[in-house]
Amino acid sequence: MKKNIIINKNNFFIFSLFECGCFSMATITTTIIIIICLLPATQAKYMFYNTTMAIDPHKINVHLVPHSHDDVGWLKTIDQYYAGANNSIRGACVQNVLDSVISALLDDPNRRFIYVEMAFFQRWWRQQSDTLKAEVRDLVNSGRLEFINGGMCMHDEATPHYIDMIDQTTLGHRFIKHEFNQKPRVGWQIDPFGHSAVQAYLLGAELGFDSLFFARIDYQDRAKRKTDKSLEVVWQGSQSLGSSSQIFTGIFPVHYSPPDGFTFEVNDVSAPIQDDLTLFDYNVKERVDDFVIAALAQANVTRTNHIMWTMGEDFRYQYALSWFRQMDKFIHYVNMDGRVNALYSTPSIYTEAKHTANEKWPLKTGDFFPYADRENAYWTGYFTSRPALKGYVRMMSGYLLAARQLEFFKGRSNLGPNTDALADALAIAQHHDAITGTEREHVAADYAMRLSIGYTECPLLNISYCPPTEANLLNGKSLVVVAYNPIGWKRVEIIRIPVSSQGLIVQDSDGREIESQLIPISSASLSTRNYHLKGNLGGSATDSDKYWLAFSASVPPLGFSTYIVSSSRKTGSRSVISKWSLSERDSNNTIEVGQGNLKLLYTADEGKLTSYINSRNQVTAFAGQSYGYYSGYNGTDRVNQASGAYIFRPNGTFPVKSDSQVPLTVVRGPLLDEIHQQLSSWLHQVTRVYKEKEHAEVEFTIGPIPVDDGVGKEVIARIATSLRSNRTFYTDSNGRDFIKRVRDYRSDWDLQVHQPIAGNYYPINLGIYLEDEDIELSVLVDRAVGATSLVDGQIEVMLHRRLLNDDARGVGEALNEEVCVHNTCKGLMIQGKFYLRIDPRGEGAKWRRAFGQEIYSPLLLAFAEQDGNNWMGTHVAAFSAIDPAYSLPENIAIITLQELENGKVLLRLAHLYETGEDRDYSVMEKVELKKLFPGKKISKVTEMNLSANQERSEMEKKRLEWRVEGASEERRGLRGGAFDPTRLEVELAPSEIRTFEVEFDYIRMFGS
């Protein structure tokens, strides 16, 4: 063989003048000279590689799992990633991945691949021929192509609301069910930056998943788990549902790429196996040794004789054969070698093998937040990054829920218009580089555009501008306001609409005049509005005075009410113009606001909040409120870590100070009081106390955050009380379960604290609260943000971030959002709200749950003009979809009411409370479907799993039971009883969400 010829490659040829040719005499015969030339090495032939899958119980089994991690948007938009456009940013083309993977799978029946992101797969699928579709169906049905996770995207776990997580997963799962009749069995959250309890139990166990896998975990936690061999655990995400919600969970020892030296994308540098003896560089032995060494290293931190190699990376397999060719060879030669056993596998095969091993696994409760990938690198910045996008997504989420209800009432049109485009846009916005704010600026714009295309109408209402409501109501015209309530219980709320004139009256649908209040729109607010109008419409609003018209609307469950606003010549019934005052004070040098039970007290001199008093339940508490900011660390790489889109690394804490003392402005009226404060040139706040509500509403307008000093800033609001909260606070998991947090502490390992601020931040979607022996303080939010309690009795919420350095995690852009109008750019301003309330201990949950649901599902308003008084005569003025005598219990929410393509109706009911959370509401509850659908004949009700791709009973049958270390007495958790088809009642235990497909004999409530 060539390899045995000893030749000094570098030198032998260099001296080149040959005195003579030379040939060997060694075999000269008596008759003729024989020339000795090298025997050509064994003629290479077509090689058959034996890659038949077989598990060897006596060896380490290396499960090779070919995969491609395809972000549905990040550096490029989803469509650019799909089509391979904009490759100057990053070469990536998912169409290549799917085309070439399918081709490689069709070439060899032993190969396997998993695919994850249905948003991409759907795009691809639509473009394929029927012939190829049939072949792909075969691949899927034979398990060679397996859908894993199976949502539209791999959603983030910190910043999405659980309803969005369910919706986007359902979209993907139903697509898979519809096209392939398959149900994904494995959760595959390999990239998200921390992992939530809701993911484990709701988007895991409740989907019917057998297991969940991910890569990212705190570096300290990982180190300990490697030592303990506890990277694989049984995770129990819900305390209410107990062991019935457990899921086997595997954390990768390094990341979701293959071990070093085993990446085989086109142009990758790993050495390919070279087994053709006619070519140079034969290296089978060497590469097999590499493989065995890597396998043994991993086996060393893993229980059982099964290990998984994630054979892929971001957007890999653009030419799949380049991977499969090498894996074919590795499996063949490694198995010939015999020290370990290699096989093509999938996470479900791996899970099955783990289960069969009958091992005991450590129990994990709680979640995996926050995530740090090294010292000083806590990924807690993205909890708040791009607050405008986060707010927009949340608004659209609530809107979609309501729109689907209305679509159901009207009767769905499969050919459109329908809610599908919005559902699709909202689904991909849950991606872990979408709502997280960790995508590039142009990609964020793409997500938002998709949402807006779904939403389409009246996009500018968000800046108090909605032309129909501001039209001049003279000439006998009046404004019709329709308010829809998507919640199952009746609501009475103050509605505010912008109007351009005084002298208005508001009437309900019965013609009764109702009390209303006019609140002048502040000049700060007006200038902001005009700025954005220029940017959006290219013009400006009219210059006439503008007011908010506030009135109280009472709306039935799943129904609407209609109000008429018109100008009136009768002085008495006109809306009350609020009183403004700039320097009001009482004898104690105090300003008190609040017309009802709740009063807030401010110091008249400094305008500082000092007391929170609820006269109904006798709560009186010291309460301060302020803003501050962290200066962002200006690093350049992973060692010199900057604060950025992902990472929060503060470099100092500073109060927000106004340049001069600006006294607070008090606005008072019959329905609500407001406190206006210009806290600095770039921070304005309005605090509202409604007569009929017992919480304070704080509306903040922040930005442009100044960065002229070259320092990025992250703005926080702080609420301070004297509660002795003992380092403990509670934050929600995706808007659902509240999880206990203890400052500077982790229950799973002995925390080394390097970042005492960033390392205590947690994501919230609903809110945060803390308590002492007497009272509890709750703060609820209108979108995902980061929050913490760094000092006992204090709550801190991060509201906005503007940073000047990239944080070296790949996005390659500083999180420096700007708005440009006529080529002039300034930092992004955001407006948002949080709500705060103080209750006697044990009373807070009621507000957090009920009002939290109302924040998620605000009243939906629509407007029309009427000439004269024709509206009421031609339109239904008030409506409720449910039995007029019925209302949903206040611990139950309809989180899905949607007509499907097949005419069936998807209904999800959620119990809003956890076990033990509330004395009154944490109880088994019933919903009567007959009363929910009056006037319809329910012909069939099928209980489904959470993503509605299989019957719940089928899912339950397949559920794997896992043995848990040291768990002698597990609590299974309470569940509602089986659905009774005769009584048509649904029973829900605390934390339960139940999903049904409901069929009706006739589905239309109204003809169309």
Q: Smaller CB distance to its own copies: residue 270 or 942?
A: 270
Residue nearer to its own copies on the CB measure, 86 or 651: 86
Contacting residue, 4, 39, 708, 935, with its own copies by CB under 8 A: 39
Length of the chain: 1008
Task: Verify binding: residue 292, its own copies, rule CB under 8 A.
Answer: no
Residues within window 720-759 making contact with its own copies, judged by CB under 8 A: none
Helix (H) or strand (E) holding 187: strand 186-188
Within 8 A by CB and 6+ apart from 881, the residues are 405, 409, 557, 558, 559, 932, 933, 1005
Window 78 to 117, contacts with its own copies (CB under 8 A): 79-80, 82-85, 87-88, 91-93, 95-96, 99-100, 103
Encode burial over 42-64: b for 16+ CB neighbours within 10 A, e otherwise: eeeeeeebebeeebeeebbbbbb
Q: Work out which of 211, 322, 430, 517 binds its own copies, going by CB under 8 A.
A: 322
Q: Which of 54, 254, 357, 445 binds its own copies (CB under 8 A)?
A: 445
Is 645 among the residues that bind its own copies (CB under 8 A)? no
Specify the amino acid at residue 269: V
CB 782 to its own copies: min, Å: 7
Site for its own copies in 449-488 (CB under 8 A): 449, 451-464, 466, 468, 480, 482, 484
**257-276 in b/e burial notation, b at 16+ Cβ within 10 A?**
bbbeebbbbeebebeebebe
HEC profile of 683-714:
EEEEEEEECCCCCEEEEEEECCCCCCCCCCEE
Q: Residue 930 and residue 936: Cα distance in Å, rounded?
A: 8
Q: Which is nearer to its own copies, 128 or 728 (CB)?
A: 128
Residues 507-546 binding its own copies (CB under 8 A) are: 528, 532, 535-536
Cβ(831)–Cβ(699) under 8 Å? yes
- Which of 227, 281, 618, 661 is close enough to bind its own copies by CB under 8 A? 281
Rule CB under 8 A: say whether 823 interacts with its own copies. no
Q: Between the CA of residue 337 and those of 258, 287, 291, 292, 447, what are the distances in Å? A: 21, 11, 11, 9, 50
Q: Which of 4, 31, 227, 982 binds its own copies (CB under 8 A)?
A: 31
In the list 422, 672, 764, 836, the residue contacting its own copies (rule: CB under 8 A) is 422
Given 820, 822, 969, 982, the residue binding its own copies (CB under 8 A): 820
Contact with its own copies (CB under 8 A): which of 50, 142, 181, 278? 278
Q: Report how far residue 341's alpha carbon sits from residue 59's, in angstroms, rounded to the nearest whole number.
A: 6
Selected from 850, 862, 900, 967, the binder of its own copies by CB under 8 A is 862
- Euclidean distance between CA atoms 784 and 662, whole angstroms: 31
**Coil, strand, or helix at residue 649?**
coil
Q: How far is the CB of 538 from its own copies (least distance, A)?
A: 9
Calpha distance 346→344 (Å, rounded): 7
- Which of the ranges 45-53, 189-197, 671-679, 918-926 carries the binding residues for its own copies, by CB under 8 A? 45-53
CB of 5 to its own copies, least distance (A): 6
The verdict on 435 binding its own copies (CB under 8 A) reads no
Are the C-beta atoms of residues 169 and 944 closer than 8 Å to each other? no
Residue numbers 671-700 binding its own copies by CB under 8 A: 699
Taking the least distance from each CB to its own copies, the nearer of 296 and 466 is 466
- Could you tell me which stretch among 209-217, 227-235, 374-382, 824-832 binds its own copies (CB under 8 A)? 824-832
Interactions with its own copies, residue window 542-561 (CB under 8 A):
560
Rounded Cα distance between 310 and 231, Å, is 15
Instruction: Give 581's strand partners.
Output: 666
Q: Is 885 in the site for its own copies (CB under 8 A)?
A: no
The distance of closest approach from Cβ of residue 465 to its own copies in the complex, given in angstroms and rounded to an integer, is: 10
Among 4, 38, 570, 1001, binds its own copies (CB under 8 A): 38
Q: Choose between 234 and 766: whose C-beta lies nearer to its own copies.
A: 766
Q: Is 261 in the site for its own copies (CB under 8 A)?
A: no
C-beta of 79 vs 692, nearer to its own copies:
79
Place of tokens 């609501």: 491
| Interface of this chain with its own copies, residues 58 to 77, rule: CB under 8 A | 77
Q: Near its own copies by CB under 8 A, which window of 397-405, 564-572, 599-607, 743-751?
A: 397-405
Q: How far is the CB of 733 from its own copies (least distance, A)?
A: 23
Helix runs in 366-518, H state only:
387-410, 420-428, 441-455, 467-470
The residue among 461 and 751 lying less far from its own copies, judged by its C-beta, is 461
Pairwise CA distance, residues 270 & 291, whole Å: 12
- Name the minimum Å distance from CB 45 to its own copies: 7
Q: Which of 296, 406, 662, 872: binder of its own copies (CB under 8 A)?
A: 406
C-beta of residue 792 within 8 angstroms of C-beta of residue 723: yes
Strands 145-147 and 211-214: unpaired
Instruction: Determine which residue in the list 420, 513, 792, 854 makes contact with its own copies, applying CB under 8 A.
Output: 420
Nearer Cβ to its own copies (32/571): 32
DSSP string, 481-539: EEEEE-SSS-EEEEEEEEES-SSEEEE-TTS-EE-EEEEEPPHHHHHHHHHHHHHHHSS
User: Hey, what are 257's tokens?
Assistant: 């790429």
Query: Does 821 contact its own copies by CB under 8 A?
Result: yes
Q: Give the tokens for residue 632.
A: 């962002």
Nearer to its own copies, 278 or 902 (CB): 278
Q: Which stretch binds its own copies (CB under 8 A): 368-376, 406-414, 963-971, 995-1003?
A: 406-414
Looking at 328-336, 437-445, 579-587, 789-797, which segment touches its own copies (CB under 8 A)? 437-445
The span from the CA of 1008 to the CA of 997, in Å, is 23
In angstroms, give the least distance from the CB of 826 to its own copies: 11
Q: What is the dihedral of CA 48, 52, 55, 60, to 10 degrees?
A: 30
Angle between helices 130-141 and 94-107 (to 10 degrees): 70
What is the Cα–Cα distance from 235 to 248, expressed in whole angstroms?
6
**Would you call 446 helix, strand, or coil by DSSP?**
helix
Q: Which CB, 252 or 264, lies closer to its own copies?
A: 264
**Would you tell me the crossing angle of helices 162-180 and 420-428 to the nearest 10 degrees?**
110
Q: Is 21 in the site for its own copies (CB under 8 A)?
A: yes
19 scored as a contact of its own copies (CB under 8 A): yes
Instruction: Find the binding residues for its own copies in span 372-391 (CB under 8 A).
Output: 387-391
Least spacing, CB of residue 103 vs its own copies, in Å: 6
Smallest separation (angstroms) from its own copies to the CB of 790:
26
Using CB under 8 A, pick the residue from 870, 876, 916, 937 that binds its own copies.
876
Q: Which stretch binds its own copies (CB under 8 A): 15-23, 140-148, 237-245, 513-521?
A: 15-23
Nearest CA-CA partner of 121 in 143, 156, 147: 147
Where does this chain touch its own copies (CB under 8 A) — which range of 207-215, 296-304, 493-501, 903-911? 493-501
The one-character DSSP state at 463 is G
SS3 call for 118:
helix
Residue the block writes with tokens 């093509």: 344
Question: With binding defined as CB under 8 A, does residue 704 bind its own copies?
Answer: no
Please say whether the beta carbons of 767 and 778 come within 8 A: yes
User: Which segments of 782-937 are extended strands (E)?
Assistant: 785-788, 794-802, 818-821, 824-827, 830-840, 860-867, 879-880, 892-899, 905-911, 925-928
CB of 128 to its own copies, least distance (A): 6
Of 195, 354, 783, 952, the one binding its own copies (CB under 8 A) is 783
Total binding residues toward its own copies, as defined by CB under 8 A? 163
Q: Binding to its own copies (CB under 8 A): which residues in 112-171?
A: 123, 126-130
